[in-house]
Structure 1
Amino acid sequence: MPDYADLGLQLAWPLAIALSWMAGELIFRWTALPRIAVYGLAGFVFGNLAAGYLPPSESKNFMLLANLGFGLILFELGYRINLRWLRHNPWIVATSLLEAVLTFAAVYLVAGACGMDMLPAALTASLAMSSSPAGLLRVLNEQGAAGQVTERAMHLTALNCVMAVFTFNVVVGIGVFQTSGDLAHAAGSSLLVLGASSVLGALFGALVPLWLRMINAARDATLAFALAVVLLVAVTYVLQFSPVLAALTFGLVARHRRIALSPAQRNFGVLGDLLAVLMFFFVATRVEVEHLGGGIALGLLLVLVRGLVKVGVCTAFARVSGISAKKGALSGLALTPMAVFAILLMEQTRWIGVDLFDSLAPLAAVMLLLDVLGPVLTQRAVVWANETRHIKEA
């Protein structure tokens, strides 16, 4: 006779993910709200109602799948970055640098003034520098967005990711050193890991296009790139490198090796869509209600400070970088998502024995809010910039 309690445990997650996808499709059709916002909200609710339904061993498998989905998105973002444009318009790089530095400083000062310790405040500030490629790119592709705001948001997000990963790992390295006094361990958890990850991604970016040319398959490169991203993320996962920098560098180098992906291959088709549902759902389950206690007011304040800095700097640098002040402000607004990027980065620190969730309650509140609100604001930014096209749903 079947054990119905055990069957419930085994079926809870697949059923919840399927229902999350169905809810996302229905709400998108009824309200045009981004699907990923629904996936995130469903994941948070399920994760707190059924926290015991996922054993630790299965949690690691889900985290690997989430990183695979994130890796595909990071590869696509890196692939869509045009280095020549950045060289011809250095004001975009200047905008990103100033916006990231001021975001770090503002969030750090506000968090410190509200009573956070120095290390958690610095970690919160470093994550606040970032914008989530997952939230941004999925919304842009869902809306069929193209134009100045779209391109600028993608380039700023890529630059923000690199600076945020660098700063976050430096801060974590300092924390590890303060705790253990082991300088080698601290260095190994920060700068050396970033360098090795970038080199590994660049190596894939050079070798995969070379392989495609050898077999004359450059016109149908989607499967090859998808398999390469899966392998790259798995390698970085096992070696405890940074999948973020590795996948981003892979896409960047592959683009400049003259291998073209057609628009139909955005999101990597069904594979990318499936992993995206799982990723946004699973990542949201990592934010527990207990993490929110006492941190909601500060979290809301940090969201406001972060948003004002990003919109303000992008607006201030808009005209010198070649766009109107309105489009500059909308570019800053499009950078709102950060939840998936922040949570996956925090999860990676558990590989080196550093658990940050309990010490960053205000950031948990920020991530919960931006998991839902962030994609909506990105969608509104490209809609208000008139850079979307109507996509007829099947």
Structure 2
Amino acid sequence: MQSILSIASDLSWPFAIALAWVAGEFGHRWTGLPRISFYGAVGFLLAQTQVGVLPHVGNGPMLVLADVAFGLILFELGYRINLRWLSNNPWIAVAGLVEAIGTFAVVYCIAIEFAVVPGTALLLAALSMSTSPATVMRVINEERSSGQVSERVMHMSALNCVLAVFIFNVIVAYRTFHSSGDLLDAGMSSFTMLLASAGAGAVFGVVVPAMLRRLGNMAQDATVAFALAVILLVAITYTTRLSPLLATLVFGLVARHRRVAFSQAQRNFGALGELLTVLLFVFVAATLAWPQVVAGAGLALAMIAGRFVTKIIGVGAFSHVSGISWRKGVLTGVALTPVSVSVVLLLEHARHRGVSFADELSALAAFILILELLGPVIIQRALIWAKETHNEQEH
């Protein structure tokens, strides 16, 4: 009996990933909705606290694999960010800063109105700033989308993800050093950690392209080399307790500006990226428990509504000065709705560092689940309404 249970436990993750992939393929074919919404639904249903197929999600190999999956996506996002475009049109960065800071303020006020203690309200506000790069990149690649809305969403998601990581780490550092009550020390500790993470990514962004240039035939070899480099970089950040999110994003950003080109056939890192994407979204949804979702549903809906409106206004207000129509500015704000992957991984890394956010999970569970399932659909609709997808006939 014990051996049967052990075998079942060993097969649970492969079974869940295979089932999620099948559900995503058939679900996308029948409904036209993004595959990742179905991946999340399967992960949530099979979680330990629901059907109980998957074991408890904690620090271990699955978290490392999820970080590698997210690292590949962040690398590709960084690789597609054009700093020259931002310097030529700084209003895009201004719009991103305004909507991120506005989101922080609005969500904080909403949480306080729901009688949430200030420390927890700050955490919720910080995590609400981010837009999930994983969802953004996956839907844009799946829809083969290109245009002003697609490019702005990628750039703004990278910007507010970095801001969210910084503010979140300030909060984690403050909790770590709470006995001293030294907020300046906490902030400097967080800043130093993020600076070291960015430095590690920058080193990889210089060394790997130089090596590929030395080898020659870069277009053929770049995909495997970059994938291996991301895996190594994530492993290093684990050992040194740095941020794999920021390190891999900076790696892609620096590699782009070292002028090493990807083969067009290797978006999302080909089959490896596809497989790890399924694992990532199943893992994220499997961290959520139905009782927590129910308990935090009211606050979650209010946070989602406030965040949705703030991002639309924050981006839409700068539409004309940044060179696009009001309509495309509003659609860009709508497309910034997704959030889930970065929030869950930030919380898991904080737990890995010994800082638990158990009191906040009930408020976040419903927030994450709703946007895990609906976020991909919302960005897909925004891209279709902006007429930037190449799959419009399928919809």
CA drift at 1:7:
2.3
1:322 alignment counterpart:
323
Aligned length: 392
Q: Is 2:11 the counterpart of 1:16? A: no
2:363 alignment counterpart:
362
Percent identity, please: 51
1:287 alignment counterpart:
288
Structure 1 235/309 Cα, relative in aligned 2: closer, same or farther at 3 Å? same
Report the Cα distance in structure 1 between the residues aligned to 2:185 and 2:321, rounded to whole angstroms. Answer: 44
Q: Which runs of 5+ in 2 are unaligned?
A: none
Instruction: Show CA shifts across 1:99-151 (max 9, x none).
Output: 11110000001101111111111011011110000011000000000001000
TM-score (norm. length: structure 2):
0.95
Structure 1 184/86 Cα, relative in aligned 2: closer, same or farther at 3 Å? closer
Contact 1:284/1:368 (CA < 8 Å) preserved in 2? yes
1:139 alignment counterpart:
139
The more displaced of 358-367 and 154-163 is 358-367
CA drift at 1:217:
3.1
1:303 alignment counterpart:
304
Residue 357 of structure 2 aligns with an amino acid whose one-letter code is L
CA drift at 1:50:
4.6
1:176 alignment counterpart:
176
1:64 alignment counterpart:
64
CA drift at 1:325:
0.5
CA drift at 1:277:
0.3
Runs of 4+ in 1 over 3 A off after TM superposition: 50-53, 179-189
CA drift at 1:326:
0.5
CA drift at 1:379:
0.4
Instruction: Show CA shifts across 1:207-228 (max 9, x none).
Output: 0010011111322211111100
| Structure 1 segment 273-284 matched on structure 2, within 5 A | 273-284=274-285
Residue 157 of structure 2 aligns with an amino acid whose one-letter code is T
Residue 125 of structure 1 aligns with an amino acid whose one-letter code is A
Structure 1 205/7 Cα, relative in aligned 2: closer, same or farther at 3 Å? same
1:103 alignment counterpart:
103
Q: Is 2:119 the counterpart of 1:119? A: yes
Matched residue SS, 1:270 = helix
Residue 245 of structure 2 aligns with an amino acid whose one-letter code is V
1:237 alignment counterpart:
238
Report the Cα distance in structure 1 between the residues aligned to 2:352 and 2:182, rounded to whole angstroms. Answer: 16
Contact 1:295/1:361 (CA < 8 Å) preserved in 2? yes
Structure 1 41/170 Cα, relative in aligned 2: closer, same or farther at 3 Å? same
Residue 173 of structure 1 aligns with an amino acid whose one-letter code is A
Structure 1 354/310 Cα, relative in aligned 2: closer, same or farther at 3 Å? same
| Structure 1 segment 243-262 matched on structure 2, within 5 A | 243-262=244-263
Contact 1:120/1:360 (CA < 8 Å) preserved in 2? no
Structure 1 185/43 Cα, relative in aligned 2: closer, same or farther at 3 Å? farther
Matched residue SS, 1:3 = helix
Contact 1:123/1:172 (CA < 8 Å) preserved in 2? no
Instruction: Show CA shifts across 1:216-266 (max 9, x none).
Output: 132221111110011001111222110111000000000000111132111
CA drift at 1:188:
7.7
Contact 1:291/1:358 (CA < 8 Å) preserved in 2? no
RMSD of aligned Cα (Å): 2.0
Report the Cα distance in structure 2 between the residues aligned to 1:73 and 1:5, rounded to whole angstroms. Answer: 35
1:43 alignment counterpart:
43
1:375 alignment counterpart:
376
Report the Cα distance in structure 1 between the residues aligned to 2:271 and 2:67, rounded to whole angstroms. Answer: 17
Contact 2:174/2:181 (CA < 8 Å) preserved in 1? no
Q: Which runs of 5+ in 1 are unaligned?
A: none
Instruction: Show CA shifts across 1:349-375 (max 9, x none).
Output: 012211114323222111000000000
1:335 alignment counterpart:
336
Residue 10 of structure 1 aligns with an amino acid whose one-letter code is D
Residue 34 of structure 1 aligns with an amino acid whose one-letter code is P
TM-score (norm. length: structure 1):
0.95
CA drift at 1:191:
1.7
Report the Cα distance in structure 2 between the residues aligned to 1:275 and 1:377, rounded to whole angstroms. Answer: 23
Residue 21 of structure 1 aligns with an amino acid whose one-letter code is W
Contact 2:38/2:373 (CA < 8 Å) preserved in 1? yes
Report the Cα distance in structure 2 between the residues aligned to 1:391 and 1:12, rounded to whole angstroms. Answer: 37
Report the Cα distance in structure 2 between the residues aligned to 1:297 and 1:387, rounded to whole angstroms. Answer: 34
Contact 1:357/1:364 (CA < 8 Å) preserved in 2? no
CA drift at 1:391:
9.0
CA drift at 1:41:
1.0
CA drift at 1:183:
7.7
